[in-house]
Structure 1
Amino acid sequence: MILIESHDGDDHLAPVRSELESRGHEVVVLDTARYPVETAIAISYDDAGAQPDLRLRLGGTVHDLNACTAAWWRRAQAFTLHPELTDAEARTFAYNEAAEGLEGLRALLKVSWINDPTRDARAAHKPYQLREARRAGLTTPRTLMTNDPEAARGFLEGQGGRPTVYKSFLALEGAWRETRVLRDDEHDRLDLVQVAPVIFQEYVDGDVDLRVTVVGDVVHAAKIHSARTAYNTDYRMELATVPMEPYELPEKVRRGVIRLMRRLGLVYGAIDFRVRPDGEHVFFEINPSGQWLFIEERTGLPITRTFVDALASADRGAPHPRSAPSGCPDCEQNVPRAPRAREAEPVV
């Protein structure tokens, strides 16, 4: 059995689920937006042994999650509480209790995760992933993340007049912001960073961006001709029309990508690079649950098949290769708790 945490609005769910079921795999989809009112969990201990009985009720069907061998952490949604709960304190209590129950269930599952929720959550933090990218041998831009206006001014002075971009930590549907080049007339507005931290980075010159999608040891790279758009700072502004094609990643960069995945403890990741005119590949970020269909549809790269192969292999009882960190003393320490729920969908 394969458990998928997602929802019907996720366009990546349908092709993966369809292909898995066509191969004979049982798939159970947990939409956390239906929890705890419409969806129920049961964790029961008796005198028989250490492993509890794990049950998940979806509508009128009860699933034995001890039979689950693989799980895909894809798009967990915010819980939906009972409408009769109107008191703010009561709603907070109920939400936290619901989270504790579900997180406890996840922790008890004997499955191969793509990705493990706790490692996924940690790897999604941009300050952390930049450090790990450098430790993996990848080139990263000069960067400052701050809500201190003086630190921001100092960073810009250190740039010596060279172009600087600024961007948000998260790209959410309800509050999406493209990456922007800082204009001269915006220097007088740096006090506004006190409202919330901002990411400042040196502008990386180049005509080509890369989207590198990794599943285990399989690396699919796509070349994105961002210079052929009206806004080459952020190709997402013209995502539907920007030209793309398959790309052969240099072996040195490919090895760095695999090392980064090991350090982060991820099986799946979507990584963004830009290629400088001299050929240097500059790492921007990794999205542990990033989209891939827009790449696959335009380039023909078999990413869905690779992803399904990984889940199918885990469901047959063989843990997916490199699903946990290897040889990384930092990766097993200080792993955070699983996220309670994602309030909105990350974009790309």
Structure 2
Amino acid sequence: MAAAGPPVLVVTRLDDATADEVIGELNRRRVPVVRLDPGDFPTAVTVAATLDGTGVAGTLTTETRAVDLDSVRSVYWRRPTPYGADLAMSEQTSRWAVEEARHGLGGVLAALPGAHYLNHPWRNRDAEYKPAQLATAARCGLAVPPTLITNDPGQARAFVTTHRPVLYKPLRETEYADADGRSLTVWLDDVTPAQIDDRVSHTAHLFQQRVSKTADIRLTVVGDRLFAVRIDGSPGVDWRRHYDRLTYAPIDVPPGIAKGVRDYLNAFGLIFGAFDFGLDPDGEWHWYECNPNGQWAWFPEHITSPITAALADELQYGGNA
């Protein structure tokens, strides 16, 4: 029985299989959980926060739960939906209401007294910028492939010519849909000098030398615990397009990589990070990126179980696991 005590606040959308795994583990431990999607505000979420000389207090209420703001032990910040507004509002008023919600409710959720954040939303935001990721990884001693970020077609063409083979990578996984509302994904892909044209000038683009790799590696870090998985079987440069062909095997993390990723997380103030590496024929790990809110629940159960337990430990014991 035991457990109970202060609740864990899980901030995410309804369809989040990764959060479901962690919530299930917390439920098995009888740790109280309150699930909240800020995108449900204000129709299904009510906040009443008081701020004075004693700090932050008040209540947060969803359709099924209520929580005292000063009693939250931990916050698991996953993937909430965007803030919304009443459809009857004008476009300008709607934008205003969304920003008020973001800075009001969002500000309260980011300032819960004594709560252990995994990760704090502002730390997630800071760590999402690819240029900052690349610079920090290099500073932490991780091997970063030559990379160019530009809107200059001439510079892009010269880089691709000099460093071929070169990949194009999106700078952010921004939600994108076609005219019928179907979600689209911009994949990593090879690019040639002939493909570079004036459209590059319309926005920033990221080009990176392609690593001559024998496998991919996903390294999930939770606090002091590291979970590295070798990914084999991808016939293309972006293994996310070929889940049905992939095989997974847990592997050890070289000491230099372990130190580098811990230094990286400390630099951004993160507890959790999902790192992607390419493994070359000489066994060297080449750093690609770190998603401060990356997925891991698609792995087989023998891989996900330890990660689930590590996350639940962080949330249950507030970083003192």
TM-score normalised to structure 1 length: 0.83
- Structure 1 residues 54 and 236 mapped into 2: Cα distance closer, same or farther (>3 Å)? same
Structure 2 regions of 5+ residues with no counterpart?
1-6, 176-182
Amino acid at match of 2:234: T
Aligned to 2:262: 258
Structure 1 regions of 5+ residues with no counterpart?
322-348
Preserved contact between residue 110 and residue 120 of structure 2 (Cα < 8 Å): no
| CA deviation after TM superposition for structure 1 residue 157, in Å | 4.0
| Structure 1 counterpart of 2:107, from 89, 97, 104 | 104
Aligned to 2:3: none
Amino acid at match of 2:94: R
| CA deviation after TM superposition for structure 1 residue 184, in Å | 4.9
Amino acid at match of 1:192: R
Alignment map for 1:1-348 (pairs within 5 Å): 1-45=7-51, 49-59=53-63, 61-85=65-89, 87-110=90-113, 111-159=115-163, 162-172=164-174, 174-187=183-196, 189=197, 191-225=198-232, 228-231=233-236, 233-297=237-301, 299=303, 302-314=306-318, 319-320=319-320
Considering fraction of residues, name the structure with more strand: 2
Preserved contact between residue 34 and residue 79 of structure 1 (Cα < 8 Å): yes
Q: Which moved more, 1:97-106 or 1:299-308?
A: 299-308
Give distance in 1, aligned partners of 2:240 and 2:110.
36
- Structure 1 residues 300 and 2 mapped into 2: Cα distance closer, same or farther (>3 Å)? closer
| CA deviation after TM superposition for structure 1 residue 89, in Å | 1.1
- Structure 1 residues 265 and 96 mapped into 2: Cα distance closer, same or farther (>3 Å)? same
Preserved contact between residue 147 and residue 195 of structure 1 (Cα < 8 Å): yes
- Structure 1 residues 145 and 184 mapped into 2: Cα distance closer, same or farther (>3 Å)? closer
SS in 2 for 1:221: strand
Number of equivalenced pairs: 307
Preserved contact between residue 21 and residue 297 of structure 2 (Cα < 8 Å): no
Structure 1 residues 279-307: Cα deviation after superposition (integer angstroms, max 9, x where no partner): 21100000011001123437466211111
Give distance in 2, aligned partners of 1:243 and 1:94.
47
Runs of 4+ residues over 6 Å off in structure 1:
none
Give distance in 2, aligned partners of 1:54 and 1:143.
48
Preserved contact between residue 160 and residue 193 of structure 2 (Cα < 8 Å): no
- Structure 1 residues 151 and 54 mapped into 2: Cα distance closer, same or farther (>3 Å)? farther
Amino acid at match of 1:68: V
| CA deviation after TM superposition for structure 1 residue 99, in Å | 1.2
Give distance in 2, aligned partners of 1:263 and 1:79.
29
Structure 1 residues 144-192: Cα deviation after superposition (integer angstroms, max 9, x where no partner): 0111212212323432xx31111111234534111111135314x2x21
Give distance in 1, aligned partners of 2:142 and 2:64.
50
Give distance in 1, aligned partners of 2:143 and 2:83.
39
Amino acid at match of 2:121: P
TM-score normalised to structure 2 length: 0.90
| CA deviation after TM superposition for structure 1 residue 214, in Å | 0.2
- Structure 1 residues 300 and 112 mapped into 2: Cα distance closer, same or farther (>3 Å)? closer
Aligned to 2:4: none
Q: Which moved more, 1:191-200 or 1:177-186?
A: 177-186
Give distance in 1, aligned partners of 2:25 and 2:104.
31
Preserved contact between residue 214 and residue 279 of structure 2 (Cα < 8 Å): yes
Give distance in 2, aligned partners of 1:105 and 1:249.
38
- Structure 1 residues 281 and 61 mapped into 2: Cα distance closer, same or farther (>3 Å)? closer
Identity in percent: 32
What is the RMSD computed on CA atoms of the aligned residues? 1.8
Give distance in 2, aligned partners of 1:45 and 1:37.
23
Structure 1 residues 40-97: Cα deviation after superposition (integer angstroms, max 9, x where no partner): 1111246xx4213231111264321211021011012112312322x11111111111
